[in-house]
Amino acid sequence: MVHQNAKKAHEFAEETVGSLMDFDFICVPETYTVSETFKYLRKNVHGKANIHYSYVIDPLGVLVGVLSLRELLGADENAILKDIMAPTTLKLSYDLDQEKAAKIFQDSDLVTLPVIDTNGRMIGVLHVDEMMDVLQQEATEDIHKMASISVDEDEEVKGLLESSMGWLYKKRIGWLVILVFVNLLSGAGIASYEELLNQHIYVVFFLPLLIASGGNTGSQSTTLVIRAMAVGDVTMRDWGKVFAKEALVSFALGITMAAAIAVIGYYRGSDYGAGTETAIIIALSMVIVVMFGGLLGAIIPFVFRLFKLDPATASTPLITSICDIAGVFIYLGIASLFLQL
C-alpha cells in the first residue's frame, strides 16, 4: 500500500504536502522493544538523510506513535515502543495546502512531520526546511499581488532575471489596463465640476495632494490588514475591532495632515481673496479623504475574504485608484459648497 502510493508521488497536486514530501523515513511495529528498534535502525538507516524520528505503526499499518532517536537513546532497552511512544497528534494529510502545513510547523517545534493517506497509513515525511521555501514563496506572491501584479497560484514564482519579458508583460498589463479605466472615473469626476474649476482654477492646485493622501493612508491600512491576515494575526471576526481602531487612527492622521496643509491653503487662497475658505475646504477635505482611505483600506481585505477572494488582491494601486475617485468628489464637492455660496 505504502509502495503503491509512493509511486504516484509525481501525481500529487502542486502546492500540497504530497508534492513536497520525502520518502526516506523509518517505520517500526508498535510491538518492538527499544533494542529491536535499534537493530532495525542500524540495518535500515544507511543512505537516508534527515532521519530524526522513528515512527510507530499498528498491525494495520496505521501510524500511531513517534519517538525521536534522542528519546530512543534515553529509553530502557527492553521497553516496548507502544508503552513509551508519544501518540502522533500532529500528522499531515497528503492533500493539505502547503501554506497550512507551514503554519502547523511554525506552531510546533518539530523538524519533521509524518504524512498520511486517507486510511491513516504513513506515506512520507515533510521536513521543515521545505517550509522555509514555502513561506518565502507565499510572501513573494502576496507582495506581488499587493502591487497589482497577477499571480498564478499553480505556477512557481520565477526569479526576476530568469523570467521572460513576455511573461512579465502578461503579469503586469491586466491590472494596469483595468486601473486606467478605473482612473477614467476620476477624470469624469473632475469634468463634472468644470464650472467650479473655470471660476476657481486654483482649487486644482490642492487636488493631487488631497487625493494622494487618501490613497497613501489606504495603502498603509490595507497592507497592515492583509499582512496580519496572512500571518494569522487577524481573522474574519476581528473586522469590527480593526475598523474601529482604524477610524480613530485615521482620524488622528487626518487631523495632523490637515493642520500641516491648512496654513499653505490659507496663503495660497489669499491670493485669490479666499484664504479662510480655502483653509477650511482643504482641512475638512483632508480629514474626510484620509478617513475614507484608511477605512476603505482596512475593510476591503475583509470583503474580499468574505467573497472567498484572496485579500492580497486588494492591491495598493486598486485602493489608491478608488481613493482618487472618492477624493475628487469629496474635495470638489466641499469646495463647491463653500465657494459657490
When binding is defined by CB under 8 A, the residue of 16, 98, 217, 278 that contacts its own copies is 217
Q: Which residues 269-308 are close enough to bind its own copies by CB under 8 A?
A: 290
Q: Which residues 12-41 are close enough to bind its own copies by CB under 8 A?
A: 38, 41
Q: Which is nearer to its own copies, 10 or 43 (CB)?
A: 43
Q: Does 83 bind its own copies (CB under 8 A)?
A: no
When binding is defined by CB under 8 A, the residue of 49, 153, 273, 307 that contacts its own copies is 49
When binding is defined by CB under 8 A, the residue of 96, 104, 190, 262 that contacts its own copies is 190
Q: Which residues 309-328 are close enough to bind its own copies by CB under 8 A?
A: 316-317, 320-321, 324, 328
- Min CB(26)–its own copies separation in Å: 9
HSE of 226, CA atoms in CB hemisphere, 13 A: 29
Q: Which is nearer to its own copies, 5 or 112 (CB)?
A: 112
Identify which range of 12-20, 59-67, 93-101, 250-258 contacts its own copies by CB under 8 A: 250-258
Q: Which is nearer to its own copies, 211 or 339 (CB)?
A: 211
| CA distances to 3, 12, 91, 96, 116 from 8, in Å | 9, 7, 20, 16, 14
Q: Does 206 bind its own copies (CB under 8 A)?
A: yes
* Cα–Cα dist 221/249, whole Å: 10
Residue 118: count of CB within 10 angstroms of its CB: 9
Q: Does 198 bind its own copies (CB under 8 A)?
A: yes
**Contact yes or no for 215/326 (Cβ under 8 A):** no
- Min CB(335)–its own copies separation in Å: 14
- Min CB(118)–its own copies separation in Å: 28
Binding track over 87-126 against its own copies, x by CB under 8 A: ---------------x--xx-xxxxx--------------
Q: Does 233 bind its own copies (CB under 8 A)?
A: yes
Cell numbers of 267, please? Answer: 496663503
Q: Does 245 bind its own copies (CB under 8 A)?
A: yes
Q: Which is nearer to its own copies, 72 or 123 (CB)?
A: 72
Identify which range of 7-15, 59-67, 82-90, 166-174 contacts its own copies by CB under 8 A: 166-174
Q: Does 133 bind its own copies (CB under 8 A)?
A: yes
